[in-house]
Amino acid sequence: MYEPKTEAVRRRRTFAIISHPDAGKTTLTENLLLMGGAIRMAGQVKAKGERRRTQSDWMKIEQERGISVSSAVMTFEFEDTICNLLDTPGHEDFSEDTYRTLTAADSAIMVIDAAKGIEAQTLKLFEVCRLRDVPIITFINKVDREGQSPFELMDEIAERLALDTVPMMWPAGMGGLFKGLIDLRQNTFLPHTKGEEGTGEAVDFSSDAMAEYIPEKELETLREEAELAQVASPDFDLDLYRAGAMTPVFFGSALRKVGVRQLLRGVTSLAPSPRPQKTTVRTVEPDEAKVSGFVFKVQANMDANHRDRIAFMRLCSGRFKRGMKLKISSSGKVISVHNPILFFAQDRELVEEAWPGDIIGIPNHGTIRVGDTLTEGEDLVFTGIPNFAPEILQRVRLDDPMKMKHLRRALESLAEEGVTQVFKPKIGANWVIGVVGQLQLEVLRERIDAEYGIKVGLEPAPFETARWVSADDPLELKRFVDANQGNIAEDRDAAPVFMAKSAWEVGYITDKWPNISFSATRERQ
Ligand code: G4P
C-alpha cells in the first residue's frame, strides 16, 4: 500500500461523491462543508429551486430543472486533514464530464437513498470507479425516513456491485422509530437528539445507561441485530478497501446532520491520500520534487465580466508555487502561472502554494485544454482522461450567416470544456457538434445565445456516431479519407474522424478497412 512521505501530501484527501439524483448529494455536500468550516470553494454547491442562487446564472436550464450541471471543487479542512471535494454532476447526460472529474479523485463516497437502494446512475458511476479501482465508502442516507432494512441494503450492495460490505455504523431504528446510530467499531451509541440536529454524546452500547434511550425489549433486539451485522460481514481490511474490493458502510441522515461527522472521519482515516499516477512514460509519485498535474476540466465564461477560461488542474507531484513556469503537453508551450486560483463562494482567491491532490484553477485564453499535462519540463502525459465518441450528432444552423466567424469561436471555446465536441465536415459548410447526451444540446444552444449573442438552430445530422481514425501507414489513412470524403470530418485538433450513419456502418467499414483503427475514445497526446 502506497504511503506518501511528504507530510503535506499525507494530510490530503481528494474525493468525489457519486449518487443518483435525489439521493442527497447536495445536502451531504453542504453539511460536509459546514462540518469542516469550508475554507475555500470553487464553483458552488448547487441547490434546488429557490433555496440558493447558483453562481452560474447562465445555466438557466440548471435552475429550471433543478439539476447540477457543472462540476465544482471545494476545499475544506477537517480535524487537520485538507479535503478536496470534487462535485460531480448527477445527471446522466453529463457522465462524460463526470468520468473525467472522477479521474481526478483518489476515492469516492457513494450515497444511497435508504428507501431506494442502488439506482441506475449510482450503478453507472460505480462502474466508472471500478474501472479505475477507486476505493469507495458507502453512505446510506435518509435513515430518518422509512427505508429498506439495513440488512437488505447491505445485501443489495454486495450482490449488485460485487463488493464486500462492512458496516461501520448501524441505525437504531429507521423513520419515526429512529433513535440514533451505533458505532460498531467503538461499540458506542450516538443518540439522536430530538428537536436538535445531529447526535449527542457517545454512550457505551453495552452499558445499562442505554436504558435511558431505548426500551428494554427494543434494545435487546437491537443488540442482536448489531451483533448479527458484524458476524455476517467480513472483517474490515484496509488493503481490500483501497484496492476497490471492499466498502465500509456508514448510515445516517444528511438532512438531520446525523452520521455526517462519522462519515467524514471515515474518509480522513481510511481513504487514501494522493496516489501515484500513470503517465505515458512512467508512474509519477506525489513525493517527487518536480511539479506535475493534469487538466480534467475546463470551464469557459465562469464569470460574465471576464471572458476567460479556467482550467482545473489536479496536482500529482511536487510543491506548486505561484508564478511557476509550466509546460503544456499538447502544445509544448511554457506558461507562467501567475494567477492560480481557488474560489470562495463568489470570489476568486489567489493561491500561493499547492500540493499533490489539490485542484487549482488556471485562467487562460484557450491555451490549456482538457487532458493536458503540465510539468516543469519533462515530456510525459498522464493517461486515462479520454474524449468519448459522441452519441448524438447535430448540425448547427446559423440564423445570421454574417456571424459565421463568431460561431466558430463560440463552438471551439465551448468544445474546449470537453463536454461537447465540434467537427468540421470535409464536405459541406455546417459545423457538426457531438454530445454524449441530449441535455447537453440544450445547454449548448442556450450558452451560445447567452454568452456569445448568437442564435443557432440545431438539426439532425445524417450521422449517428463518430470514430476517430488512425493508421500506422499514413498513405493507407489518406486512401481511407479520400474514399470516404462524405463521412469524414476533423475534430478541433484536426484529427480525422469518421462519422457513421449507424452502428452497423461502423461495423461494416471496420471490416472493410482492416488496417485502419477506429476508436471510440481519444486521449490527448
Ligand atoms: P441530490 O443532490 O442528490 O439530488 O439530492 P439533494 O441533496 O438535493 O436531496 C434530495 C431531496 O432529499 C431533498 O428534498 C432533500 O431535502 C432530501 N434529503 C436529503 N437528505 C435527506 C435525509 O437525510 N433525510 C430526508 N428525510 N430527506 C433528505 P426535496 O424535497 O427534493 O428538496 P427540498 O425542497 O427539501 O430542497
Q: Which of 255, 258, 260, 263 to mutate to test the pocket of ligand 1 (most atoms within 8 A of CB)?
A: 255
Whether the Cβ atoms of residue 50 and residue 33 lie closer than 8 Å to each other: no
pLDDT the model gives residue 241: 97
Positions of E strands within 224-369: 246-251, 277-278, 283-284, 292-300, 309-317, 320-321, 325-328, 334-336, 341-344, 347-350, 353-354, 359-364
Cα 438 from chain centroid?
A: 19
* Distances, alpha carbon 25 to alpha carbons 12, 29, 68, 168, 507, in Å: 21, 6, 10, 20, 40
pLDDT the model gives residue 54: 34
Whether the Cβ atoms of residue 125 and residue 235 lie closer than 8 Å to each other: no
Q: Regarding beta strands 488-490 and 521-523, do their DSSP bridges make them parallel or antiparallel, or are they unpaired? A: unpaired
Q: Which residues contact 269 (CB under 8 A, 6 or more apart)?
A: none
Residue with the nearest Cα to atom 17 of ligand 1?
A: 24
Indicate if ligand 1 lies below 6 Å from the C-beta of 119. no
- The three-point CA angle 489-491-493 to 5° equals 135
Rounded to the nearest angstrom, the distance between the alpha carbon of 341 and the centre of ligand 1 is 31
Mean pLDDT per block of 10 residues along the chain (525 residues) reads 90 94 88 67 40 38 41 78 81 67 93 95 85 92 95 95 96 93 96 77 94 93 96 95 96 94 96 94 96 89 64 95 94 93 59 92 86 94 75 85 85 78 86 81 85 88 89 94 94 89 87 90 64
Q: Which of 17, 19, 27 to mutate to test the pocket of ligand 1 (most atoms within 8 A of CB)?
A: 27
Q: pLDDT tens across 382-411, in order?
A: 987 766 667 788 989 888 878 888 888 888
Indicate if ligand 1 lies below 6 Å from the C-beta of 255. yes
Rounded to the nearest angstrom, the distance between the alpha carbon of 356 and the centre of ligand 1 is 33
Residue 184 DSSP class:
T
Rounded to the nearest angstrom, the distance between the alpha carbon of 417 and the centre of ligand 1 is 29
Indicate if ligand 1 lies below 6 Å from the C-beta of 144. yes
Residue boundaries of the structural domains of the chain? 11-19+90-270, 277-375, 386-523
pLDDT the model gives residue 212: 93
Rounded to the nearest angstrom, the distance between the alpha carbon of 243 and the centre of ligand 1 is 31
Using DSSP's 3-state secondary structure scheme, residue 369 falls into: coil
Residue 350 CA to residue 342 CA, distance in Å, equals 6
Which one is the CATH code of 386-523: 3.30.70.3280, 3.40.50.980, 3.90.850.10, 2.60.40.10?
A: 3.30.70.3280
Rounded to the nearest angstrom, the distance between the alpha carbon of 23 and the centre of ligand 1 is 7
What's domain 277-375's architecture? 3-Layer(aba) Sandwich (3.40)
Q: pLDDT tens across 285-321, in order?
A: 999 999 999 999 887 766 555 566 788 999 999 999 9
Q: Which of 19, 22, 169 to mutate to test the pocket of ligand 1 (most atoms within 8 A of CB)?
A: 22
User: Residues annotated as binding site?
Assistant: 19-26, 87-91, 141-144
- pTM of the full predicted structure? 0.79
User: Phi, psi (5° rounding) for residue 282?
Assistant: -160, 175
According to DSSP, the residues that pair with 464 across neighbouring strands are none
Rounded to the nearest angstrom, the distance between the alpha carbon of 54 and the centre of ligand 1 is 17
User: Residues annotated as binding site for GTP?
Assistant: 19-26, 87-91, 141-144
Half-sphere CA count of 389, side-chain side, radius 13 A: 19
Q: Where do we find the cell 428494554? A: 216
Indicate if ligand 1 lies below 6 Å from the C-beta of 371. no
Rounded to the nearest angstrom, the distance between the alpha carbon of 255 and the centre of ligand 1 is 7
Whether the Cβ atoms of residue 291 and residue 376 lie closer than 8 Å to each other: yes
Same fold, 11-19+90-270 and 277-375: yes
The C-alpha torsion from 330 through 331 and 333 to 335, rounded to 10°, is: -50
Is 11-19+90-270 a domain of CATH 3.40.190.10?
Answer: no
Indicate if ligand 1 lies below 6 Å from the C-beta of 88. no
Nearest alpha carbon to residue 525 among 444, 460, 468, 455: 468
Half-sphere CA count of 499, side-chain side, radius 13 A: 27
